[in-house]
Amino acid sequence: MISKNQIKLVTSLHKAKGRKRAGLFIVEGPKAVDEFINSNFEIEAVYGTREWIEFAPQILDFAEMISVKELQSISAQKHPNQVLAVVKMPETSTPPSEINDLCLVLDTIQDPGNMGTIIRIADWFGIKHIICSTETADIYNPKVVQSTMGSISRVQVSYTDLVDWLGEINGAIPVYGTLLSGENIYETKLVSKGLIVIGNESKGISDDVAFFISQGIKIPSYGDSETESLNAAVATGVVVAVFRQAQ
């Protein structure tokens, strides 16, 4: 049976303040938990239902069996799925000073679902590093972690003042940005090494960050579409796919 103190600790990790204080975050669901168990992340605790533990004999000594009701009491989800792990946050990573591949730069992406999906997209397309503005959604938000489906364990995410960082590397590498005034991405010469800036869901790329963009790009609409813009995560997937295809 899970104790009151354990419940208090785990539920505190639903909030940014609690995660920061404890240096821990939660991962939920069999697939995501399995990804972290097999990663370099340090697992502090695992709480699984009988249904999950019976199919995970390799960590029986590590996991604590709890009831479905107990899992519901600590989960951040409406419909928890068999298992929850408490994971130690790694040391804060710093943005790379040299770019040798494609990197994503997120300028105030705020929706946790978008953030998690973008991390998953980066993992799929072999992008190892994402650099975020300090206002971008917290990668350890339970909704972000859930949306990544384990990809967060393989993609390095850094937070920094984008203007200062872009100023330091200014001119050393191409900086592409998704802009409504940009050039048709399918008609643009693309490179295999550079930065791709994705802007805020409603406001786009801020003027201060846009200053450093060397090539604006856009995904053209077709037919009689009256849609104003694409979802940020969807746009990221299209843009990254085009970049990879061009290599």
To the nearest 10°, the Cα dihedral for 175, 177, 181, 182? 60
- Residue 67: how many CB atoms within 10 A of its CB? 12
Mean pLDDT, the chain, whole residue set:
92
Indicate yes or no: pTM above 0.75: yes
Q: Is residue 97's pLDDT more than 70?
A: yes
Lowest mean pLDDT among 22-36, 41-55, 63-77, 223-237: 223-237
What is the C-alpha separation between 174 and 51, in angstroms, rounded? 50
> With pLDDT > 70 as the criterion, what percentage of the chain qualifies?
96
What is the identity of the amino acid at 226? E
Instruction: Tell me the mean pLDDT in the region 8-31.
Output: 96
What pLDDT score does 56 carry?
72
For 243-247, what is the mean pLDDT?
Answer: 85
54-to-32, 37, 60, 88, 163 alpha-carbon distances in Å: 17, 16, 8, 25, 51
Q: In order of start, what are the domains of the chain with their CATH numbers?
A: 4-88 (3.30.1330.30), 102-246 (3.40.1280.10)
At residue 57, does pLDDT exceed 60? no
Percentage with pLDDT > 90 across the chain = 77
Q: How sure is the predictor about 246, in pLDDT bands with cuts at 50, 70 and 90?
A: confident
Q: Is 183 exposed, middle or buried (0-12, 13-18, 19+ CB in 10 A)?
A: middle
Is the pLDDT at 29 greater than 80? The verdict is yes
Count the neighbouring beta carbons within 10 Å of the beta carbon of residue 7.
15
Q: Which pLDDT belongs to residue 54?
A: 84
pLDDT in tens, 143-176: 999 999 899 999 999 999 999 999 998 778 999 9
Q: Are strands 175-184 and 194-198 parallel, antiparallel or unpaired?
A: parallel
